[in-house]
Structure 1
Amino acid sequence: MIWKVNICLCITFACWLRYLGVGGVGSVTAEMLTRCGIGKLLLFDYDKVELANMNRLFFQPHQAGLSKVEAAEHTLRNINPDVSFETHNYNITTMENFTHFMDRISHGGLEEGKPVDLVLSCVDNFEARMAINQACNELGQIWMESGVSENAVSGHIQLIIPGETACFACAPPLVVAANIDEKTLKREGVCAASLPTTMGVVAGILVQNVLKYLLKFGTVSYYLGYNAMQDFFPTMAMKPNPQCNDRHCRRQQEEYKKKEAERPTVEVVQEEEDVVHEDNEWGIELVSEVTDAELQAASGPVPDLPEGITVAFTIPSEVTDGDTVEETEQSLEELMAQMKKL
């Protein structure tokens, strides 16, 4: 069974990173979607398979030297030949490639000329994330971002709807906000930590969210984190920043506000609850055994009290002097002795 949906998948698999990040989520994501019977996958990457990548999932030693999109396509076609694949072996952050990347998002759908249904970001550096963010904001394209931390024991996924939720530039990481060159943060000859377990968990959460979004079941997560150290899964939703640095994001926010204002207001009508009477089919009726007259007679006179003060109870007016017990100076022992003589 093949779904008539298509996904643009931006992937970076490299272990020996040119930029800050760990990557590795994209290959597992692509395999899961292929096994689920996605209609079409568009794959973007510019790296080659190396033996250093074998600590990851998906790639195999005999694929070393192949471009990663080519190796991925060969493997995925063998898994499910009914899925359509389109591969692009280039860096999406360059000006020329970015223009082509946007064109494929807009016209590379399962039906040629139609846009893709969803963009998935599985890249390993902030520069590529910002490029994807800019493209999706400009096109109004819904996308999901994902990532694994440099220490390989935590990760996250995030659904981004332009204008409705925060984009990647609305609350950017410090590296992006401070305009720091990521190349200066990479230590020469040092590879970031890499655990296939963490990447597998994040990829599974990402694809699960994709299925819920596309097939419209369950609750789609706007943001879901994963902390392997405490098995902690934080979740939240972030509103867009009105002062976002991305002008396309601000434009999308204004368009979203206009759509919300034009949407007809649904009035909530509160239904009045029907009065439940005591009558029932068995003829059982609840009545008071004390009449109003008896109740009035049992109540004593109400004293004049300041406003706001009420009595808890009154002394019945029927109580007479003959009913009262006279005071005596006899002790309790003497009274008990008299009672025994009676």
Structure 2
Amino acid sequence: MATAEDIQKQIETLQIQLDSLKQNARTKIDKMSSEVKDSNPYSRLMALQRMGIVNDYERIRTKSVAVVGVGGVGSVTADMLTRCGIGKLILFDYDKVELANMNRLFFTPDQAGLSKVDAAAKTLSFINPDVEILTNNYNITTVESFEKFLDAIRLGGIEKNTPVDLVLSCVDNFEARMAINTACNELNLNWFESGVSENAVSGHIQFIKPGELACFGCAPPLVVAENIDEKTLKREGVCAASLPTTMGIVAGMLVQNTLKYLLNFGEVSNYLGYNALIDFFPKMDLRPNPQCDDRWCLKRQKEFQARPKVDIPIVDEKVTEIVHETNEWGIELVSEDVKEAPTVSSTGLKLAYDPINESKSNEIPENQTTNDDVSLEELMAQMKNI
């Protein structure tokens, strides 16, 4: 009869074999095909590279992203990143899928009762089996779980014992946001904070680079700044509103900027808001607060300030004359700063260019009068001459 020690050894052997199979499978799919055919799931993504938007789209396979909160925004965010072919996705949540979540995107009624991370992982693996998906079913705000969260993002990179490339906060409470803020400040990890308002008609994303941009504690919401218990703000029998449209838009904003950051194209928005009532998208930069309560934030600020300053080269602003070849159509390139009055006849009509009779096209015919009080017949005659 096998002892407990023998069984443990067998389990360890099987785990090693499983890890080896996973690694072999990942090696086969690490190379994205740019071949344009219906059976290639990456052909339209690789088109971004062919069109010059992204230099090397295949780098997405080397990126690891942590998504904290797999609810209305987080589940759609994970869905989009999976379809984009992210290398590794680490999910954090401790809630279960409820039928009340069905007004949102992603989850389905048959998943009610399952943990959100397990339900999400099953769906995402079906959508794109190339993506490595890890699940963490615990509350990151508890002391024990916070340490596990730290380790997960500190060692969750594609390469062994490297940190994740980016953390995405998609949680719906300030306590969890502050936990993510503390962890990322401590580990010096860049992250995005996101949220949707309680009335579901506005939302935002905020990019946070420890020491360089304001952390979540630098300019906290009122409930954090005044140390108010968030639970006291919730009224019994009243739940927050939720619109799949707003959730989808915020998730789209979040993933779009995530891709820009990971693949280095376009401009990453430091803060981008959304007001659904008037379709308003405010943008701004939030700088760190020198009196932030987070000690790790203050440390990162000092490190950033100690970095050597990069001198911006002075561009010689010489006015370069536009040179172009002459052409038979008489087209000229002129500076937008030059306001040249068009040639106008005494009747107020702009004289058209006549390529056949160029020398006379801008001349007033001899029989054309300069008197503004002309009859209709005279005006018609002048137009014929023109």
User: So what's the TM-score if we normalise by structure 1?
Assistant: 0.74
1:55 paired residue among 103, 107, 119:
103
Partner of 1:127: 175
* 1:13-53: CA deviation from partner (whole Å, max 9, x where unpaired): 2xxxxxxxxxx100000000000000000000001111111
Among residues 39, 63, 69, which one is paired with 1:5 in the alignment? 63
Q: Which segments of 5 or more consecutive residues in structure 1 lack a partner in the other structure?
A: 14-23, 276-342
Aligned to 1:111: 159
* 8 Å Cα contact 1:28-1:58 kept in structure 2: yes
State the distance in 2 between where 1:222 and 1:271 align: 30
Structure 2: 5+ residue stretches without partners = 1-31, 33-59, 322-386
Which SS does the other structure have where 2:304 is aligned?
helix
Cα distance in 2 for residues equivalent to 1:78 and 1:182 = 37
Per the normalisation by structure 2, the TM-score is: 0.66
Please, which of 258, 269, 274 is the counterpart of residue 221 of structure 1? 269
Distance 2:155 2:260 in 1: 24
What is aligned with 2:333? none
Whole-angstrom distance in 1 between the partners of 2:320 and 2:215: 49
Kindly state the Cα deviation for residue 263 of structure 1 after the two structures are TM-superposed.
4.0
Give the Cα–Cα distance (whole angstroms) in 2 for the partners of residues 190 and 205 of structure 1: 28
Aligned to 1:240: 288
Tell me by how many angstroms 1:266 deviates: 4.8
- Paired position in structure 2 for 1:297: none
Are 1:157 and 2:205 matched, yes or no? yes
Q: Distance in 2 between matches of 1:271 and 1:129?
A: 46
Q: In 2, distance between residues paired with 1:101 and 1:119?
A: 11
Distance 1:264 1:60, change over 3 A: closer
| Counterpart AA for 1:101 | F
Distance 2:229 2:320 in 1: 68
For 1:62 and 1:214, how far apart are their aligned partners in 2?
34
Contact 1:156 1:202 in 2 (8 A): yes
2:216 paired residue number: 168
Letter in 1 for 2:92: F
More contact order relative to length (CA 8 Å, sep ≥ 6): 1
Q: Per-residue CA shift, 1:314-342, capped at 9, x if unaligned?
A: xxxxxxxxxxxxxxxxxxxxxxxxxxxxx
Q: 1:179 aligns with which of 213, 220, 227?
A: 227
Matched, 1:43 2:76: no
Displacement of 1:265 in angstroms is 3.4
Q: Is the 8 A contact 2:70 2:117 kept in 1?
A: no
RMSD: 1.6
Distance 1:269 1:197 in 2: 45
1:194-230 Cα offsets, whole Å, 9 max, x none, are: 1001000100011001111111111110000000000
Aligned residues: 263
Aligned counterpart, 2:253: 205
| Residue identity opposite 1:231 in structure 2 | D
Residues 70, 91 of structure 2: 8 Å contact kept: no
Q: Give the partner amino acid of 1:137.
A: N
Distance 1:101 1:258 in 2: 29
Paired position in structure 2 for 1:192: 240
CA distance 1:84–1:52, shift in 2 (3 Å): same
Q: Percent identity?
A: 70
- Tell me which stretches of 4 or more aligned residues in structure 1 moved more than 4 Å: 271-275
2:115 corresponding residue in structure 1? 67
CA distance in 2, matches of 1:96, 1:243: 29
Residues 63, 257 of structure 1: alpha-carbon distance in 2 compared, 3 angstrom cutoff = same
CA gap 1:272/1:74 in 2 versus in 1, 3 angstroms: closer
